[in-house]
Structure 1
Amino acid sequence: MTHTSTPAGPVPAAPPAAPEAAGRRLDWGLAAVLVLAAFLLFYNLGQRPFWQDEAETACLAKNVLVHGLPYSFDGLNVVSQEEEREFDKVGGYLWRWSPWMQIYLQAAGFAVGGLDAAAGRVPFALAALVAVYWLYRLTRRHFGDRDLALLAAILLTTCVPFLLIGRQARYYAPGTLFVLWTLDAFLSDWQRKTLPLLAMFAGMALLFHANYLLFLSFAPTALAAAFLVYPEKFHWKRLGWLVAATIALVMVPGILLYRIGSQSGMFDVLLVPENLMLYFADLCMFCLPLPVSVYLVWRWRRFALRGERPADPAERFALFAAVLIVFSLLFLGLVPQRFFRYIAHLLPLCAFLLAFCVRRLWNFSRLSAVLLFFLLAATNWLAVYPMERLKIVNRPWQNDFRMLTSNNFPLKLFVTELVCGYPDVNAAIVGFFTANAKPGQTIVAEYGDLPLQFALSGVRVLGGLQGPVPEGVKPDWVLRRRVVRVNRDRFLFGTREFTDSLNFERDYERVPVPFPDETFGNRTDDPNHHYFIAVEPPQKDLEIWRRREGAS
Structure 2
Amino acid sequence: MANQYLWQDEAENAVIARNILRFGYPRAFDGSLLVVSDIGYRKDYTWIFQPWLQNYLTAFSFCIFGGSSLSARLPFVLFGIASFASAYFLARRMFSLMTARVFLVIMLTCVPYLLMIRQARYYSLALFFALLLIHGYLDYAEKKRFADIKILASSFLLFNSNFGLFFPLAAGLIFHRIVFYRREADMKKDAGLILLTALILVPIFIYFKGWLHEVPLSADFVLGNVKFYLRSINRYIVPIRLIAVFYLVFAIMKRTFWPFVASYSDKRNISLILFIFVTTVLFMGIAKFRSLRYAIYLIPLLGILESYFLARWMNHGRVLASLCIVLLVTTNLFHQSLTDIFVKSVSGAFVNLSGKYDFEKQGGILEKMTEKAKERASEKNSIRSYFGEYLYEISHDYDGPIEGIVTYLKENAVETDRVKIPYGDCAVAFYTGLKVDNDMTPGKDPYPEWIIPRDYWTSKGFYSSDYYKEIQKKYEKIVLEYPDLRWENRPDDLGYHNFRTVSDYPKKVVIYKKK
**TM-score computed with the length of structure 1 as normaliser:** 0.80
Quote the offset at 1:213 in angstroms. 0.5
Distance 1:316 1:500, change over 3 A: farther
Q: Give the equivalent residue in structure 2 for 1:397.
A: none
Q: Is the counterpart of residue 126 in structure 1 residue 102 in structure 2?
A: no
Aligned counterpart in structure 1 of residue 164 of structure 2, from 188, 213, 232: 213
Task: Verify: 1:474 aligned to 2:447, yes or no.
Answer: yes
> Does the 8 Å CA contact 2:242/2:339 hold for their aligned counterparts?
no
Q: Is the 8 A contact 1:522 1:530 kept in 2?
A: yes
Kindly indicate whether the alpha-carbon contact (under 8 Å) linking 1:478 and 1:546 is maintained by their aligned counterparts in 2: yes
Q: Residue type of the partner of 2:41? A: F
Q: Deviations over 1:386-416 (max 9, x none)?
A: 45333699xxxxxxx9xxx952222221111
**1:373-398 deviations in whole A, cap 9, x for unaligned?**
112222222112145333699xxxxx
**Cα offsets for 1:44-93 (capped at 9, x unmatched):** x11111100000000000011122311011122211153xx4314xx111
Preserved CA contact (<8 Å) 2:215 2:288 = no
Contact 2:400 2:482 in 1 (8 A): no
**1:462 aligns to 2:437 (yes or no):** yes
CA shift in 2, pair 1:255/1:272, >3 Å: same
Query: Which residue matches 1:509?
Result: 476
* Residue identity matched to 1:461: V
Secondary structure of 1:514's counterpart equals strand
Question: Is the 8 Å Cα contact of residues 272 and 336 (structure 1) preserved in structure 2?
Answer: no
Structure 1 residue 129: deviation in Å? Answer: 0.5
* Aligned AA (2:12): E
User: Deviation at 1:481?
Assistant: 1.9
Counterpart in 2 of 1:99? 51
Distance 1:141 1:225, change over 3 A: closer
Structure-to-structure mapping, 1:158-169, within 5 angstroms: 158-169=109-120
1:244 aligns with 2:195: yes
1:264 is aligned to 214
Q: Within 5 A, what are the aligned runs for 1:136-535?
A: 136-143=88-95, 145-190=96-141, 192-229=143-180, 231=182, 234-250=185-201, 252-264=202-214, 266-289=216-239, 290-296=241-247, 311-389=263-341, 390=343, 407-457=383-433, 459-463=434-438, 470-484=443-457, 501-535=468-502
Going from structure 1 to structure 2, the CA distance change for 1:482 and 1:312 (only over 3 Å counts) comes to same
- Map of 1:31 onto structure 2: none
1:191–1:233 Cα contact (<8 Å) kept: no
Q: Is the 8 A contact 2:215 2:286 kept in 1?
A: no
Letter of the aligned partner of 2:424 in structure 1?
Answer: G
Shift of 1:368: 1.7
Confirm or deny: 8 A CA contact 1:417 1:532 kept in the other structure: yes
Length, aligned pairs only = 479
Deviations along 1:427-460, whole A, 9 cap, x unmatched?
A: 1111111222222222111221110011122x22
Distance in 2, Cα, partners of 1:202 & 1:494: 50
* Whole-angstrom distance in 1 between the partners of 2:255 and 2:286: 26
Identity %: 26
Distance 1:430 1:109, change over 3 A: same
In structure 2, what is the Cα distance between the partners aligned to 1:185 and 1:282? 29
Q: Report the 3-state secondary structure (helix = DSSP H, G, I; strand = E; otherwise coil) of the residue aligned with 2:112.
A: helix
Q: Deviations over 1:163-205 (max 9, x none)?
A: 0000101111111111111111211245634411211121111
Q: Hey, what does 1:546 align to over in structure 2?
A: 513
In 2, the alpha carbon distance for the partners of 1:94 and 1:172 equals 22
For residues 462 and 172 of structure 2, the distance between their equivalents in structure 1, rounded to whole angstroms, comes to: 40
Local SS of the residue matching 1:511: strand
Change (3 A) 1:495 1:238: farther
Calculate the aligned-residue CA RMSD, in Å: 2.9
Counterpart CA distance in 2 for 1:48 and 1:379 is 25
Do the aligned residues in 2 keep the contact of 1:99 with 1:258 (CA within 8 Å)? yes
- Return the letter of the residue paired with 1:80: V
Structure 1: gaps (5+ residues): 1-44, 394-400, 486-491
Q: Check whether the contact 2:21–2:59 (CA below 8 A) recurs between aligned residues.
A: yes
CA 1:408–1:165 in 2, change beyond 3 Å: closer, same or farther?
same
- In 1, the alpha carbon distance for the partners of 2:255 and 2:48 equals 44
Provide the C-alpha distance between the structure 1 equivalents of 2:421 and 2:461, rounded to a whole number of angstroms.
11
How far, CA to CA, are the matches of 1:499 and 1:297 in structure 2? 64
Deviation at 1:281, TM superposition (A): 0.6
Distance in structure 2 (CA, Å) of the matches to 1:470 and 1:303: 70
Paired letter, 1:547: K
In 2: Cα distance, 1:448 partner to 1:256 partner? 30
